[in-house]
Amino acid sequence: MDRLKKLNIPKSLWILGTIIIILIILSLLSDFLVPYDPYETCPEHVLQPPSSHHLLGTDAHGRDILSRIIVGSKTSIFSAFALIALAAGIGTTVGLLGGYFGGKVDTVLMRVTDVFLAFPDMVLAIAVAGILGGGLVNAMIAILATTWTQYARLARSSTIAIKEETFIQAAKLSGCSNMRIMLRHILPNIGGPLIVTATLHVSGMMMGIAGLSFLGLGVKVPQAEWGSMISEGKKFLQTSPWVALAPSIVMVLVIMVFNLFGDKLRDILDPKSAEK
Amino acid sequence: MNMKKNIIKRLVQFIPVLIGITFLTFSLMYISPSNPASVKASAGGITPSKEVVEEIKEEMGLNRPFLVQYVSWLGNLAKGDMGSSYITDEPVIDKLMVALPYTLKMAFLSMAITLIFSVPLGVYMAAHKGGIVDFLLRIFAFIGNALPNFIIGIFLLYLCSYKLGLIPVLSTGGWIGVILPSLTLALVMSTRYIRQIRAATLDELSKDYVIGLRARGISEHNILFKNVLKNIMVTVITLTGISIGSLLGGTVVVEMIFNWPGLGHLVMEAIGKRDYPIVQGFVVWLSVAFMLVNLLTDISYTWFNPKIKEI
C-alpha cells in the first residue's frame, strides 16, 4: 500500500478504475440485473422503438435490447480479459526464454514469432476462425494466434536490456537458478510496459471478438454479444436503427473507458513512451 | 552498394518465414473439423455415400502423409497454382484475380484519403498546439480510436444511405460504391495517423536545428514546409507500413457491410461454403503482400533518412 501511495496516483485514474470495477461487477451480476429475459422472444413486440417499457427497444425477435446488451457485456469483457491473460502469458514466456538464454533458443523462438507476425492480424484471425468453424472459443484461439507475438517481442527486448545489469550478475553469482532469476528478478522489472500494453489491449481485444462475431465467426446465435447484435441490426438499419445503434453506442463508451484507463496508466508506469 | 546487399539479406530472411506461413496455412485445413473430401463430394447438393467420399479422398491425395501433401501443395503454389475451388472447380487464382482489383481500389483510395487529411491536420495541430482546432481534433482522434471499423461502417451506411440518401445502399461495384467503404477504412486509420503525426511534428519542432533556423529568422512557414515535413516522412512511412496489415483485415469487414465484391467478400463466402482452397489462397496472398510492403517500407527509410544504413 505504501508503494501505491508513493506512485501518486491521480484522481482520474481512481475514477476510471472505479468505473471499470463497477462495469465488471455489473457484467458478473448481469443475469440478475436484466429487466427482461434476454433470450425470450415475443412475436407481439417485434422491432419496437425505445419506450418506457423497453428502454432501448426490441429486436427482430421481440427480445429486449437493453437486457441483451447487459448480458452481452459479460461475453465481451471477460473474453477480452481471458485473451489478454493467455496472450500475455504465452508471449511473455516466449520472450523471456528467448531473451534470457539467447543463442539457438532465441533464434528458434524468434523465427516462430516472425512467422506469426508476418500474417496481417485480422486476416489470420478470420482464416483460423473461419476454418475452425466459429464459436467463441475458436474466435479466441484465432485472435490469440495474432496477439501473443506483441508480448513476446516486448518481453524479449526488455529482458535483453536488463540481463546485463549488475543485480542479475549478482543473483547468478549467488547461485540462483535460471528459473528463479527469470521469475523473481527479471519479470518484476519488465512488468511495467507489459501491464501497460495489456491494459491498452483490452479495447483491441473487445473489438477483435466483436469483429469476428460481426462477421458471423464469433459467438453462435442466439447468444447475446455486441458484435453479433450489431450485425443482426444491420438488416433493420433503415426501419429500426436502434437495433444496431444501441449496442454500438454502449460498446464505444465501454471501449473509451478502457482506453482512457490505459492511457492514464501508461503515463504513470511507463512515462517515457507516453504521448505528449 | 551496401543497400543492395541489405535488400538481398532481407529477401533471404524471407524464405524461412515464407515456409512458416505456407506451413501454417496448409495445416489450418488439416485441423479443420470438416473433411475436404466430403465438402467436395456434397458440393452437388446430395449427401454422398461413404464410398464416394473415400474415392474423392484418394483422388485428392488426402490419404498421403501430411508432409507429402504439404510439399506437393507448396510445389504447386510456387508455380502459381493454388488449387481449385471445391464447389465450382474454378482455379483459386482466377477467383482471387477477379476480386483483387476491387479490394485494391478500396485500399488505395482509403490510404489516399487518410494521408490527404491526416498529414496536413497533424502538422497544423502541432504548429498551433493548444488552439481550438488542436483541441477539437484531439477529441475527434480520441473518439475515433474507440470506434471499431464495423461500427463506423454501420453508422456511415445509416447516415449517408438511409438518412441523407446520398449514396445507394447496395453498391454496384462502381466508383460511387467505393466511397463509403473507403471512407470507413480511412476514418479508422486517420485517428491513429493524426495523433502520431502531431506527436512527431511536435518532437521535430523541439529539436535544435529548428531553434537554429528560427534564430536565423527563417519564417515558421518555411521551417515547417522545407524541413519539418521532410523529417516526419519517416513517421508517415512507418505508419503506412504498419496500417497495411490492419487495412487488409479491415477490408473484409467493410466489404461485408457494403457488399463490395472484393477479396474479403470472396473469402467470407468461401468460409460459409467450407471452400478452403480459396481461404488458403487468400491468406497466403495477403501475407506475402504484407511482407513485401514491410520490406518496401524499410527500404524507403534509407531513402528519407540516409543515416539509417542497416535495414
CB contact under 8 A, B283 and A214: no
Q: How confident is the model at residue A2 (pLDDT cuts 50, 70, 90)?
A: low
Query: How many Å lie between the alpha carbon of A18 and the closest alpha carbon of chain B?
Result: 20
A5 pLDDT tier (thresholds 50, 70, 90): low
Residue A39's pLDDT is 84
Q: Which residue of A has its CA nearest to B267?
A: A127
Chain segment A134-161, per-residue pLDDT in tens: 789 999 999 999 899 999 999 999 999 8
Q: Do the Cβ atoms of A207 and B148 come within 8 Å?
A: yes
Question: Do the chains contact at B249 and A120, CB–CB below 8 Å?
Answer: yes
For chain B, which ranges sit under pLDDT 50? 311
For A127, the closest of B28, B155, B157 (CB atoms) is B28
Contact check, Cβ <8 Å, A114/B20: yes
Flag whether residue A212 sits within 8 Å of chain B, measured between CB atoms.
Answer: no
C-beta atoms of B282 and A127 within 8 A = yes
Chain A to chain B Cβ contacts (< 8 Å): 143
Q: What's the gap in Å between the CA of B88 and the closest CA on chain A?
A: 19
The mean pLDDT value for A19-43 works out to 86
Q: Give the per-residue pLDDT at A276.
A: 40
Q: What average pLDDT does range A40-54 have in this prediction?
A: 82
pLDDT of res. A93: 95
B39 CB neighbours in chain A (<8 A) are none
Q: What confidence score (pLDDT) does residue B99 get?
A: 92
The string of pLDDT tens digits covering residues A211-232 is 999 999 988 878 889 999 999 9
Cα Rg of chain B (Å, integer): 24
Mutate one of A123, A201, A217, A259 to test the B interface: name it (highest B CB count within 10 A). Answer: A123
- Tens digit of each residue's pLDDT (9 = 90 or more) over A187-198: 988 888 898 889
Predicted-complex ipTM score: 0.87
Nearest to B150 among A121, A133, A230 (CB): A230
Question: Looking at residues A89-105, what average pLDDT do you find?
Answer: 93
One-letter-per-residue 3-state SS of chain A? CHHHHHCCCCHHHHHHHHHHHHHHHHHHCHHHHCCCCCCCCCHHHCCCCCCCCCCCCECCCCCEHHHHHHHHHHHHHHHHHHHHHHHHHHHHHHHHHHHHHCHHHHHHHHHHHHHHHHCCHHHHHHHHHHHHCCCHHHHHHHHHHHHHHHHHHHHHHHHHHHHCCHHHHHHHHCCCCHHHHHHHHHHHHHHHHHHHHHHHHHHHHHHHHHHHHHCCCCCCCCCCCHHHHHHHHHCCCCCCCHHHHHHHHHHHHHHHHHHHHHHHHHHHHCHHHCCC
Contact call for B29 and A118, based on CB within 8 A: no
Does B252 contact A126 at a Cβ distance shorter than 8 Å? yes
Residues of A in contact with B162 (CB under 8 A): 237-238, 241
A273 touches chain B (CB under 8 A): no
On average, the pLDDT of chain A sits at 87
What integer pLDDT is reported at residue A48 of this predicted model? 83
Q: Distance (Å, rounded) from C-alpha A84 to C-alpha A194? A: 11
**Percent of chain A's residues with pLDDT above 70:** 95
Contacts of A213 in chain B (CB under 8 A): none
Using the Cβ of A272 and the Cβ atoms of chain B, whether some distance falls under 8 Å is answered with no
Question: Percentage of chain A surpassing pLDDT 90?
Answer: 41
- Per-residue pLDDT band at A100 (split at 50, 70, 90): very high
Residue of chain B whose Cα is closest to the Cα of A202: B146
Contact: B162, A237; criterion CB under 8 Å: yes
Nearest CA in chain B to A120: B245
Quick one: pLDDT at residue B246? 83
Assessment of whether the complete model's pTM goes beyond 0.90: no
pLDDT given for residue A250 in this prediction: 94
